[in-house]
Chains A and B, each alone.
Chain A
Amino acid sequence: MKKQNTFIVAAAVTAAVIAAFWLLLAAPAYTGNAINMTQGVTSQSVLSYQLHMIILWICVVIGIIVFSAMFYSIVMHRKSKGHEAAQFTHSTKAEIVWTIIPIIILIVMAVPATTALVNMEVAPETEMTIKITGFQWRWKYQYVEDEIEFISSLDTGSNFARRLASGTDPSSVENYLLNVDKPLVLPANTKIKFLITADDVIHSWWVPALGWKRDAIPGFINEAWTEVMEPGTYRGQCAELCGKDHGFMPIVLNVLPKAEYQAWVNQQRQGMAHEQAEIERLWARDELMDLGQEVYAAQCATCHQADGQGLAPAFPALAGSPVANGPVDENIAVILHGREGTAMQAWGRMLSDSDIAAALTYTRNAFGNETGDVVQPQTIARIKNG
């Protein structure tokens, strides 16, 4: 009897633990940590969510029925209670019933599953297009009609705190690992087409509030679309393993009302004109060193490390490196075009000429490197334009 009691208690505890977990899942609000899929802010995310909830409840009901029958049997049909074993071996009728009923459930399920998928995937006429390119480990956004483009990387606060044994408590960093230097700004209530691709390895662009993710694959251009119903800030992450900093390439959407969005576009275009002027003027060495230090920390330090010592064997040191101390033209070529077969990327497509010039000036005069070179933005512009 004692043995049997222990068993029932243990079984009850396990069942209670499992049941508690399932119930938590169904609870709409739980303070602190989200436990369910977001309903999101697009028609697609609502479809995903609704489909998720339907199939979840079907699974819960099936689970309860099957487990109830099983646990009833476990409690009632045990030898210790003196239950004699029946000797039936099969029932064709039962097999047919429990084949047909699941098929019917599946057919019923297939209807909303198909509708949701068709509605999500078939794009309506869109009003604007954004091209998204995944790089190791940042996103590049191009506004096709407005000719705005920029790179979006992990913000410096997270980037500092995330280093091994950094000594910074992640909870002291706002939106730790889910914040970027430049968010993707989009207008609300506008049908937007995304063209998604990658430059190096496969990434996956995912903002849960939009309701889908789409792989960014080198050599392919995938299409997706969205229409965000509510202005706000929405965060997501790369969802496909893309190398060492896969966990550190977040996505932030800043969705603005249409008028504010237009103001932002105008401001960006002015900024681009200003940037052009900046490229054409001659910079002082200190200006370049200051900007260079910022660019280095944001873009280069991930691999070459803050102290320029690199991370053997994949990421070479810049301190004392023959490239950073060698002929400046060769150094510029490496930065602009990258190095085939290594993680060194072609930065010419990603950073502005001023940023590249500043980073070069900085790396050739920091970490003990003493070339004394000052690389001007106009030099980079001239080399880039052939």
Chain B
Amino acid sequence: MSIESHDIAHDDHHDHKPSGFLDRWLYTTNHKDIGTLYLVFSLLMFFIGGSMAMVIRAELFMPGLQLVEPEFFNQMTTMHALIMVFGAVMPAWVGFANWMIPMMIGAPDMALPRMNNWSFWILPFAFTMLLSTLFMDSGGPAAGWTLYPPLSLQGGQSFAFVVFAVHMMGISSIMGSINVIATILNMRAPGMTLLKMPLFVWTWLITAFLLIAVMPVLAGAVTMLLTDHFFGTSFFNAAGGGDPVMFQHIFWFFGHPEVYIMILPAFGVVSEIIPTFSRKPLFGYTAMVYATASIAFLSFIVWAHHMFTVGMPLTGELFFMYATMLIAVPTGVKVFNWVSTMWQGSMTFETPMLFAIGFVVLFTIGGLSGLMLAMAAADLQYHDTYFVVAHFHYVLVPGSVFALMAGAYYWLPKWTGHMYSEKWGKIHFWVSAISVNILFFPQHYLGLAGMPRRIPDYSTQFADFNMISSIGGFIFGASQLIFVGVIVHCVYKSRQVATGRVWEGAKGLEWTLSSPPPYHSFNTPPVIDSTTIAHVEEAH
């Protein structure tokens, strides 16, 4: 058994990877292996969720129903969102956390390695169960990822599988978050004070607290749906004295922090990449930390801006409008700081930097349309239209997903020890950046012109922009195959050996290790030296 080898004192220059496939991957407690598992899993989910998006865009290519029945269309929109949110973006960020946090803070591994293994390995079961509902008699969930009752309660027996799958994802996220917090608070190398931590570590620390706070709320909400559906309770059934709007309040109390859970680690990654390729320290490090914390705090008091049309009292609408507008302030601080980091730098534009710049530009567009949506009086028109679809896809796709890709390109040489193909990386970026705008920008017009979201067919006045959007969607979808090609080439074929530092301007503990890093790194805490880390505490 390879277990024994873990107990032996290590020489950092030798790997002690378990030899058998199961030993290596199923039983692993190694943060790097678990990080890889998370990343491969999320890439798979990204393609499954993406293929559902292709079905959606293909049906919306022209007016009239050509490919699927409306019921199946609704299953596609619902599943696409559930898979992308819980299966692609969130696990991808946990994958990054696993790989990078220990290496960034000088720790040998995550604080709770066995729990780490468990929190990954329940995910494939959760998503197999979720996806299996598509093949059941009563079909997959079709009420939207928001699962609003009473509609979600009209689903058949398969709904129980959906609820159980959500519970499992929640358990996985909570365990992952406990691990992140325990690791960051207890396992930093001596001298790595909180305000010296890389911003990615900071954003993940805050994200982990958000997750622990809101995943149980989601679990409670879906459990009440479960008992309403199968055990005759009336939490959300007005006829039984319940309140269907209460579900929306509970869901969005989870849901709004959830969207920041998907974007805060993206802020962190971009805050690592821009300084590296600007060859200049991150501007306003402390302000960035406070801005992240402020966004996290505000995320708890803005939830009802998703519900301006349910018939809230005027004072409630005003409160949620003002609170939502406030989010623009710390978010603006972040954008200004990134621009100031680039300012007077000595920039080069390798693929990670391209994706990071793409992120800043396109995320800002999504942020600005978010500010428009905050205006309650205008939101009575925007709400539930394609304008909203355009908005949240701008912050999630060229937002979170571009940051994930930036991070993947940035650390891929570190993880594999090989350089990826810069040429194909750049092609991937440009095709993605252009097509993602062709895909989502026209959706602003569709929404303003009056096209509701979540409809399988539309009036002919919406035909042109839907066709443009679909074409952009097909190109964007296909261009992600380039990403897979680049990764496979980098892992298996690339002959170009990566140095330890990889990038000329890279700073931080992870770059002091070899590429690829030893299987067990930092068994002896590194000495923190202001020349090797990116952020030196500011003197006040």
Interface residue ranges, A against B (CB under 8 Å): 7, 10, 13-14, 17-18, 21, 24-25, 32-38, 45, 47-48, 51-52, 55-56, 59, 62-63, 66-67, 69-70, 73-74, 77-80, 83-91, 94-95, 98-99, 102-103, 106, 109-110, 113-114, 116-118, 120-122, 161-166, 168-171, 175-178, 200-202, 204, 206, 208, 211-215, 217-220, 222-223, 236-248, 311, 313-314, 343
Contact = CB atoms under 8 A, between A and B. Distances in A.
A36 B64 contact: no
Contacts of B300: none
A163 B460 CA distance: 15
B348 interface: yes
Contacts of B65: 162-166
Contacts of B321: 110, 113-114, 117
A220 B286 contact: no
Given A14-B433, A63-B368, A215-B310, A239 B383 contact: yes
B479 to A, nearest CB: 14
A218 B68 CA distance: 29
B150 A34 contact: no
Interface residues of B, number: 110
Contact of B283 (A88, A117, A243): A88
B287 interface: yes
21 contacts: A34-B461, A37-B378, A37-B448, A51-B377, A70-B361, A87-B280, A106-B325, A106-B328, A122-B314, A201-B154, A213-B383, A213-B384, A215-B311, A220-B311, A237-B452, A243-B74, A243-B142, A247-B452, A248-B70, A313-B137, A313-B138
Contacts of A67: 361, 364
B477 interface: no
B69 A164 contact: yes
Contact of A244 (B69, B245, B332, B346): B69
Given A34-B461, A86-B280, A217-B244, 7 more contacts: A106-B325, A109-B325, A110-B321, A116-B377, A204-B309, A215-B311, A314-B138
B381 interface: yes
A59 B371 contact: yes
A69 B144 CA distance: 40
B375 A79 contact: no
B151 A85 contact: no
B286 A90 contact: yes
Contacts of B143: 241
Given A55-B372, A211-B381, A90 B332 contact: no
B345 A66 contact: no
A322 B16 CA distance: 70
Contact of A213 (B154, B286, B364, B380): B380
Given A86-B345, A213-B383, A240-B384, A35 B449 contact: yes
Nearest to B376: A117
Interface string B465-484: 10000000000000000000
Contacts of B449: 33-38
B445 interface: yes
Given A34-B461, A59-B368, A222-B311, A95 B280 contact: no
A307 to B, nearest CB: 16
